[in-house]
Copies of this chain bind each other. A is one copy, B any other.
């Protein structure tokens, strides 16, 4: 009997952070999606844990940032500890974890299992999408006659349903001691007891025909192998132990993120965790070229013993260890990440690096956050297929920056402290701190900047909003709703719903000429040749493809909704009610002060500007109000 066959728009292989972020996006946009994973359960403990500010912003745009902010530990300060003359260690400096003003959200730390839970819940809520577990792909082929027809299900993937034994991950680093289950939250209980392969499908093969396949299947990616692509780069020459534990210690900064170099016992990175856990990254030793570490010899006890030597004279004990591991990952990257824009790879399949920059999950999720809306645009006919090429350009650039940074950071951590100006191999305290500070902004994820290209255009005036550099994420500030006086972060109006936004900083509309200018912009937007009428399908709400938000610089009460052209707050929906949530003022609110958005974004309060923002909140174009016809060049990638 021929194997069962089915069709889907997007097949995602791998349900780790990268795969789940893509599934979350596609669910939100109602794209036909299947996501499979060879494991029979998600992870619960350990793995990656740091969630950088930009990632929290993205979670907010999907509506679940508050779960992370509530459950996670927050990193506010970094303490730097260095060798002390005469022995031991001393605190040499305290710095903010990010420069104040980096983001309105904190850098939070929460185990990967919980992050996955938030996305699993979002997928279910958005489009009833679930991960199909205990399934492994065994072959992939593309019909050459269909490869340029993006409406075709050109890719065939054979899937095999695994047995429980095959699908059960080896929990190398999980320390079974009875507490593991009791630490689970209520909403994890079902996952912790995966049902036996429910439909008796063990060994069954099936064929999925897909328009796109995305490999989010980790550093040893099966999908990448099918494309005959390889990670390139350095192998590691130091190896580190990682321990998640409850601790008893007299070390005063155990609830701070700490960098620590000892005289000659090695280095530690301390990261405080949720549930009073502490993560210790402990330098264990060096390897020679080609040498591999015998990981079986690394135990929680051996990691702790090294930590005790480094932290002396402070004492530390770990009465409860939740998870541990040993890693020796170098910095490696795959130079090409797609086959004909039909098959893509993302996350660890695309780049691997040490966990020390706290980027593990973050860059991986940002890979698929970049890709998801583009796939949806092509599938929904909203954009030309050429926008898919920007995935390789934009994300390879970011991945390369990560690799370079991690290389330098790893070297800084692993090197011995400099013994003085004559010591050319050691790293001086000043050198380390300066570098550490310089990576902070990048590490927050807020500094990623996509270069000019089909989706980031330098055609308009780029000096009208110094705080909104092209290719970077839109920096959120508080404004006040004109209709209801509620303070809003602009970012909270940039929901991840697949829409582009035209944000009109209208300036001071008490000035007649400026008001007239705004009316010209509105008239253009309302015209048959403007982007709203051109790209919105008939019978759809006028803001369903491109949403317009207007922010004036003059006081809220100097104007009323009725004073704005209708296209800026259109009638919508089944009942034709006006949308009062599109008009804002950069004004003081009754209860939470003034956001000063114009000032922070470097926008002239009289003349304003216009910013076009992509569905992933990337600034795509800025221009003067007079240049509004540039908005007609809606970035379809054609």
Measuring CB to CB, which residues of chain A are less than 8 angstroms from any residue of chain B?
63, 66, 70, 73-74, 76-77, 94, 96-98, 100, 106, 125, 186, 246-248, 250, 252, 254-256, 272, 276, 319-320, 481, 483-487, 557, 560-562, 571, 574-578, 580, 589-591
Please determine whether A248 and B591 come into contact, CB atoms closer than 8 angstroms: no
Q: Could you jot down 13 A-B contacts, CB within 8 Å?
A: A63-B70, A66-B66, A66-B70, A76-B485, A76-B590, A125-B186, A248-B571, A248-B576, A252-B562, A254-B580, A255-B484, A256-B484, A272-B484
Q: Which residues of B contact A98 (CB under 8 A)?
A: 591
Q: In the complex, A380→B272 CA distance in Å?
A: 36
* Chain B min CB distance to A124 (Å): 9
Give 9 closest A-B pairs by Cβ, nearest first.
A255-B484, A77-B485, A319-B575, A76-B485, A96-B590, A255-B483, A252-B560, A66-B66, A74-B486
* Chain B min CB distance to A436 (Å): 15
Contact A248 to B578, CB < 8 A, known contacts A77-B590, A591-B106: yes
Q: In the complex, A591→B102 CA distance in Å?
A: 9
Contact A484 to B248, CB < 8 A, known contacts A96-B591, A576-B319: no
Please determine whether B248 and A577 come into contact, CB atoms closer than 8 angstroms: yes
Q: In the complex, A578→B319 CA distance in Å?
A: 12
Instruction: Give the residue name and chain of the B residue nearest to A76 (CB).
Output: B485
Q: Which residues of B contact A560 (CB under 8 A)?
A: 252
Q: In the complex, A578→B317 CA distance in Å?
A: 12
Please determine whether B76 and A486 come into contact, CB atoms closer than 8 angstroms: yes
Instruction: Give the residue name and chain of the B residue nearest to A78 (CB).
Output: B485
Q: In the complex, A76→B480 CA distance in Å?
A: 10
Please determine whether B76 and A589 come into contact, CB atoms closer than 8 angstroms: yes
Q: Which residues of B contact A485 (CB under 8 A)?
A: 76-77, 256
Q: Which residues of B contact A66 (CB under 8 A)?
A: 66, 70
* Chain B min CB distance to A475 (Å): 15
Q: In the complex, A246→B486 CA distance in Å?
A: 19
Q: In the complex, A578→B106 CA distance in Å?
A: 25
Please determine whether B575 and A248 come into contact, CB atoms closer than 8 angstroms: yes
A98, A186, A561, A591 — most chain B CB neighbours (10 Å): A591
Chain A interface mostly helix, strand, loop or mixed?
mixed
Q: In the complex, A589→B106 CA distance in Å?
A: 12
Please determine whether B319 and A252 come into contact, CB atoms closer than 8 angstroms: no
Within 8 Å by CB of A76, from B74, B484, B577, lies B484
Q: Which residues of B contact A276 (CB under 8 A)?
A: 577, 580
Q: In the complex, A580→B275 CA distance in Å?
A: 12
Q: Which residues of B contact A76 (CB under 8 A)?
A: 484-487, 589-591
Within 8 Å by CB of A557, from B94, B100, B577, B590, lies B94
Q: In the complex, A96→B487 CA distance in Å?
A: 13
Q: Which residues of B contact A94 (CB under 8 A)?
A: 557
Q: Which residues of B contact A252 (CB under 8 A)?
A: 560-562
Instruction: Give the residue name and chain of the B residue nearest to A97 (CB).
Output: B590
Q: In the complex, A97→B272 CA distance in Å?
A: 41
Q: In the complex, A186→B125 CA distance in Å?
A: 8
* Chain B min CB distance to A464 (Å): 29
Within 8 Å by CB of A247, from B255, B487, B562, B577, lies B577
Within 8 Å by CB of A590, from B100, B487, B578, B589, lies B100
Instruction: Give the residue name and chain of the B residue nearest to A77 (CB).
Output: B485
20 additional contacts, CB 8 Å, given A248-B575, A319-B576, A320-B574?
A: A63-B70, A74-B484, A74-B486, A76-B485, A76-B591, A77-B485, A96-B590, A96-B591, A98-B591, A246-B575, A248-B571, A248-B576, A248-B577, A252-B562, A255-B580, A256-B485, A272-B484, A276-B577, A319-B577, A320-B575
* Chain B min CB distance to A99 (Å): 9
Instruction: Give the residue name and chain of the B residue nearest to A575 (CB).
Output: B319
Q: Which residues of B contact A63 (CB under 8 A)?
A: 70
Within 8 Å by CB of A562, from B73, B74, B250, B256, lies B250
A272, A486, A589 — most chain B CB neighbours (10 Å): A486
Q: Which residues of B contact A77 (CB under 8 A)?
A: 484-485, 590
* Chain B min CB distance to A479 (Å): 13
Q: Which residues of B contact A106 (CB under 8 A)?
A: 591
Q: Which residues of B contact A591 (CB under 8 A)?
A: 76, 96, 98, 100, 106
Instruction: Give the residue name and chain of the B residue nearest to A562 (CB).
Output: B252
Q: In the complex, A250→B571 CA distance in Å?
A: 12
Instruction: Give the residue name and chain of the B residue nearest to A179 (CB).
Output: B574
* Chain B min CB distance to A136 (Å): 32
Q: In the complex, A74→B483 CA distance in Å?
A: 12
Instruction: Give the residue name and chain of the B residue nearest to A101 (CB).
Output: B591
* Chain B min CB distance to A411 (Å): 28
Instruction: Give the residue name and chain of the B residue nearest to A66 (CB).
Output: B66
Q: In the complex, A96→B560 CA distance in Å?
A: 18
Instruction: Give the residue name and chain of the B residue nearest to A102 (CB).
Output: B591
Instruction: Give the residue name and chain of the B residue nearest to A99 (CB).
Output: B590
Q: In the complex, A175→B547 CA distance in Å?
A: 32
* Chain B min CB distance to A70 (Å): 7
